[in-house]
Structure 1
Amino acid sequence: MAETRAEAPPRSAVLAPLRHPVFRALWLASLASNFGGLIQSVGASWLMTSIAPQASMVALVQASATLPIMLLSLFSGAVADNFDRRRVMLTAQAFMLVVSALLTIVAWIGFMTPWLLLLFTFLIGCGTALNNPAWQASVGDMVPRGDLPAAVGLNSMGFNIARSVGPALGGAIVALAGAAAAFAINAVSYVGLIAVLTRWRPEPTVATLPPEPLGAAMLAGPRYVALSPAVRVVLLRAFVFGMGASAVNALMPLIARELVGGGPLTYGLLLGAFGVGAVAGALVSTRLRARLSTEKLVRVSSLGFAAGAATAGLSGFLPLTLGALLLTGAGWVLALSSFNVTVQMSTPRWVVARALSLYQMAAFGGLAGGSWLWGTVAEGQGLRVALLSAGAVLVGCTLIGFVRPLADAEGRDLGPLRSWAAPETAVPVDGRTGPVVVAVEWHVAEADLPEFLGVMAERRRIRRRDGAHNWMLLRDLADPSLWVERYHAPTWHDYQRLNTRLTRDDAEVFETLRRLHRGAWPPQVRRMIEREARPWTRDPGRVARELATPLADPSRNA
């Protein structure tokens, strides 16, 4: 299912990404799968009320579905960045299909137990956790960069369309045909996605290096985020926003029962209003992004959500509460999709899935912690106090933006800086040889030192971000104009990786350093292998053979 990308349509066209056949097919299949997942969730919760009606067991159904996202996100991001994302998604979808089919059979024959139901729900959550980073990172492979914000908004809209209708549809199915029928529908919903993914043939990427070991890849994600100010700010804002925004969803049953004085039907109407607001927010998101910066859009969304939460807390009039929840739904989608887009457009392709997984962990961490916090506040201080306090947190999220604003990353070019090839070496090396020590010699005039040191601080961040260890800057005591930049890489492959990770957005730093260099020749680069001193021996031939043999276990010298 090859795709030839058309010219990017105007950014104001919210449905523009659907012009790309692969994205359109996957979006429709994902929409069907979202319906199936929500129907399955209703069936599992209702079945648990029949076989173990204790409130704690019913609550564990939702917990068992979301816990894998917290536990496995970083691992899943590393897998998505190091292996073919289409295959990762196919594996996840096939796994969830098998688990859902087994769940259907066990429920149909009447052998279900509470803990077995939680196990099946947990396993489906594991499949979702494996699938999500690969799916989100693949959006950038399906549409041009200019359509990426609209594509992220459409994904949010699709999920919220399903969330608006799916629970009610699931309840009707369970009432008419039982929980096993809901599980069967969920199993069938994976078939469409598997079919589309099987037909999709993305442009192959030529890998010049083997994949990173998963342990190293999982560490590389947090390191990159920690040394990327734009992404770090997103995680902070997403956590705070999630903590404040969690109050409305967590307390919505109580809003329906205690503030509006309704029952299950009223609760359904409130859920529907939130979902409709979310869909409306997704529909206007691209137009708003064309007029507002990312930071201003998040501020508007946060303040809108805060106003909606406060209104819901103070209102006892159903139409007014429905209007407030429309506002919160729109703010929810606009803020979260803005965070998602900023992460994707601030991160190069080699690490984008890991950055997205860390963003998900921050947002879900805020949602989980906020749900517990506002439940505790509502129990001790009252529902209105909890909702007003949550609104205050969202106002705080807006105020943080004046100190730590979100970056507008759409103008950044995160493609590879250059086609880098490993240099020839006189000493034989292989991929595991190491540690590699690199020293770069710069000659700098005294008058240029303030600028040189400032640019070197940015170069240090870039090098460490991409995988360099023990970076340091040294000044020669005999020649004051000579400065030596020195850093380590654990292995020769790691040294190659950190050089291929430089982006065109980093070019200004390297051009400035070349301009400041005053040597008679270009900066001298010395690449060395760290070796242990060996006991003295009278057999120089054995020493020569050992020195010519790459280290088999570089980690002992790292």
Structure 2
Amino acid sequence: MKSATTDSPWAPLAARVFRALWIAQLVSNIGTWMQTVGAQWLLVGDSAALMTLVQTAASLPVVLLALPSGVIADRFDRRVVLVTAQFAMLAVSGALAVLAFLDALTPTVLLLLTFLLGCGTALMGPAWQAIQPELVERKRLGQAAALGAVNMNLARAVGPALGGAVVAAAGAGWVFAFNAASYLGIAAVLLLWRRPAAASAPPATNEGLLAALHAGRRYVWNAPGVRRVLLRTLLFIPGGAALWALLPLTASRSLGLGSGGYGLLLAAVGVGAVGGAFLLPRAHRVLGANGTLTAGALMFAGVLAVLATVHTPWVVALALLPAGLAWIAVLSTLNAAVQTRLPGWVRARGLSVYLLVFQGGQALAAPLWGTVADWLGLSACLLIAGAVMLLSAATVRRWPLRDAEGINPTPSDHWPAPPLVFAPEESDGPVLVSVVYRVPAEHWGKFTERMHRVARSRRRTGALSWGLYQDGHAPERFVENYLVSSWAEHLDQHHVRLTATDRRFEEEARALLTPGSTPEVTHAFDTSGGPPIRP
């Protein structure tokens, strides 16, 4: 392995806290995969639809809780959020173990407790992703994302085989017990982490939880690069979910394997993913991000076709190696893309939307594939999933990931203090911000074109509406108007939400102004609901 001090795939491991968390997470992920095997194998004798509900029960909480979890992670100390989630999941896994040992774990109770574990995962997901820039340099976020996928797939290489062996030898209770204990490692590292005081301080904004939720939604909607990452995720996940939902049925019904054999099939996926981590930097250099997405989807489609038509265990196991490679290649590319496009003030909320699409796609697709398998048969279902994955590959050229080279999410507090004659309350508003520009005739077209990027910046950071108007009496005079819900929201624009990219968009538009002129900014407060504000 290359030295972690170079820009190798392992470079982020040179950071002590990242390394300790990575190791603790590996142990926890092994426990999670052991538990997944135990839970699925307890239901493998039932209908396909019921068995695939294990994946739905684990993923559905993200659909319900991802956005509130993102708000919590942006509003409160992320370390406290993560530690709380670890102990909550420890308690639920402990309950699973006790009930399994007492032989009182019915399918309904199993699915309910799996759902509660999913709630813990949903709570920690945005916070876990959002602390990564505190642990490694921004230029290494892509490598950190890949190492996160390596972690999961190393666990997949070990956990399922170990879980299958434990279930066969001692029963499912012991895999649930190991999973419960595995959460203690992450909690210990987080509690011992000497995090800088500035990172754990409360946010420099007083926005309420509902306002914070709307702010996150507004940011994502007005960030074309983030939206494109979400679209690519949505197009990949449904086909990919078929592998995880139907592999237990493939093992038992198509290949005649027991829980140990199923664990070995999952291990093959994990081994392929770990190998893919070594190939990923080269793949990105040769293929680029969009080429990697296309190749990964094509490879996954081929694997699904093999699962549908081949009934020899060792051939299927070999075919699952490229499935792991494709999975890590695509998800690492998407995860790194969304990480590098989000500023700190809304990072957890933006990531929560990504997790919502990722986990929600799996939660909704898994029972659908189970129903199709019961209706048309396992082989036909896998072939349909392969066709869906081919469709994903075919759409990359039409909807590629946008280039992120020009995106710099570094905070930029470059707006001057508003020159008001009175001090508004934070709740005062809505506030109409008007900016007057003077533009020579030869730049009118280019100016309005550049202001469209400024418009997205305004909307991302708080504007409810935006417009650019040309004065009919003095055509060189352009007026930008945008409405912000409150004075507090506008102050957040000033001091918290603007980035270096937003500043660049403004400077590019203002470079076209009449030489010597400067924008004139005014702030007007809504008085339709009450008397005007007095100095």
TM over 0.5: yes
Select the residue among 376, 387, 400 that pairs with 1:405.
400
Once residues 392 and 40 of structure 2 are traced to their aligned partners in structure 1, the CA distance between those partners, rounded to angstroms, is 33
Q: Which of residues 428, 443, 448 is equivalent to 2:423?
A: 428
Name the CA shift for 1:439/1:410 in 2 (closer, same or farther; >3 Å).
closer
Amino acid at match of 2:119: C
Q: Where does residue 66 of structure 1 map in the other structure?
A: 59
1:320 alignment counterpart: 315
Q: Tell me, what secondary structure is at the counterpart of 1:473?
A: strand
**Counterpart-to-counterpart distance in 2, 1:355 and 1:195:** 27
Q: In the alignment, is the contact (CA less than 8 A) between 1:149 and 1:286 conserved in 2?
A: no
Q: CA deviation at 1:10?
A: 3.8
Mapping for residues 15-414 of structure 1, pairs under 5 Å: 15-44=10-39, 60-105=53-98, 115-203=108-196, 204-205=198-199, 209-257=204-252, 259-260=254-255, 262=257, 264-409=259-404, 412-414=407-409
Q: 1:468 aligns with which of 451, 463, 480?
A: 463
1:548 and 2:527 matched: no
Alpha-carbon distance in structure 1 between the residues aligned to 2:529 and 2:85: 49
1:470-489 residue pairs with structure 2 within 5 A? Answer: 470-489=465-484
Q: Tell me if the contact between 2:37 and 2:263 (Cα under 8 Å) persists in the aligned partners.
A: no
In structure 1, the residue matched to 2:445 is: 450
DSSP-derived class of the 2:424 partner: coil
Equivalenced residue count is 530
* Structure 2 residue 518 is matched with structure 1 residue 532: no
1:507 paired with 2:507, answer no
Measure, in 2, the Cα distance between the counterparts of 1:313 and 1:108.
Answer: 36
Choose 450-459 or 374-383, whichever is displaced more.
Answer: 374-383
Q: CA deviation at 1:15?
A: 1.3
Assess, with a 3 A threshold, how the Cα gap between structure 1 residues 520 and 19 changes in structure 2: closer, same or farther. Answer: closer
CA distance in 1, matches of 2:445, 2:485: 31
Q: Structure 1, unaligned stretches of length 5 or more? A: 1-6, 535-542, 550-558
1 CA distance for matches of 2:101 and 2:384? 45
Mapped to 2, the partners of 1:401 and 1:128 lie a distance apart of 30
User: Are the counterparts in 1 of residues 93 and 180 from structure 2 also a CA contact under 8 Å?
Assistant: yes
Match for 2:154: what amino acid? I
Partner AA of 1:547 in structure 2: I
**1:250·1:371 contact (CA, 8 Å) conserved in 2?**
yes
Q: Distance in 1 between matches of 2:372 and 2:99?
A: 40
Q: CA deviation at 1:486?
A: 0.5
Q: Is the 8 A contact 2:44 2:249 kept in 1?
A: no
Alignment correspondent of 1:555: none
Q: 1:54 to 1:292 in 2, by over 3 A?
A: closer
Query: Following TM superposition, by how much is the alpha carbon of 1:345 offset from its aligned partner in structure 2, in angstroms?
Result: 0.8
Whether the 8 Å CA contact 1:295–1:407 is kept in 2: the answer is no
How has the CA–CA distance of structure 1 residues 264 and 96 changed in structure 2, closer, same or farther, with 3 Å as cutoff?
Answer: closer
Report the CA distance between 1:263 and its aligned residue: 5.0
Higher relative contact order (CA 8 A, sep 6+): 2
CA distance in 2 between partners of 1:459 and 1:226 (Å): 15
1:241–1:366: 8 Å Cα contact kept in structure 2? no
Q: Which amino acid aligns with 1:28?
A: I
RMSD between aligned residues: 2.8
What is the rounded CA distance, in whole Å, between the counterparts of 1:388 and 1:64 in structure 2? 25
Q: How many angstroms does 1:264 deviate by?
A: 4.6
Q: Tell me if structure 1 keeps the 8 A contact 2:461–2:493.
A: yes
Cα 1:25–1:348 change in 2 (3 A) is same
- Give the Å deviation of 1:462: 1.4
Distance 1:177 1:304, change over 3 A: closer
CA distance in 1, matches of 2:261, 2:69: 38
Give me the whole-angstrom Cα distance separating, in 2, the residues matched to 1:39 and 1:375.
22
Q: 1:491 and 2:486 equivalent?
A: yes
Does structure 2 retain, via aligned residues, the 8 Å contact 1:473–1:484? yes
Q: Secondary structure at the match of 1:442?
A: strand
| 1:510-541 CA distance string (max 9 Å, x none) | 1222222227541100012111276xxxxxxx
* Matched-pair identity in %: 42
Cα offsets for 1:37-59 (capped at 9, x unmatched): 23334445566789xx7877665
Moved more, 88-97 or 309-318: 309-318
Closer, same or farther in 2 for the Cα pair 1:213/1:333, shift >3 Å? same
- Which whole-Å CA distance do the structure 2 matches of 1:516 and 1:95 have between them? 56
Name the stretch that deviates more: 216-225 or 407-416: 407-416
1:236 positional shift: 1.2
What's the CA shift for 1:387? 2.8
Q: Is the 8 A contact 1:8 1:146 kept in 2?
A: no
**C-alpha separation in 2, matches of 1:254 and 1:47:** 13
- Amino acid in structure 1 at the alignment position of 2:56: A
Q: Quick check: 2:164–2:260 contact (8 Å CA) kept in 1? A: no
Structure 2 stretches lacking a partner, 5+ long: none
Q: Determine which structure has more spread, i.e. the larger CA radius of gyration.
A: 1
Counterpart CA distance in 2 for 1:514 and 1:325 is 55
1:441–1:524 CA contact under 8 A, matched in 2: yes
Find the residue that maps to 1:438 and give its secondary structure: strand
1:346 partner letter:
R
- Evaluate the alpha carbon distance shift between residue 421 and residue 218 of structure 1 in structure 2; reply closer, same or farther with a 3 A threshold: same
- Per the TM alignment, residue 419 of structure 1 is displaced from its structure 2 partner at its CA by 4.6
SS in 2 for 1:470: strand
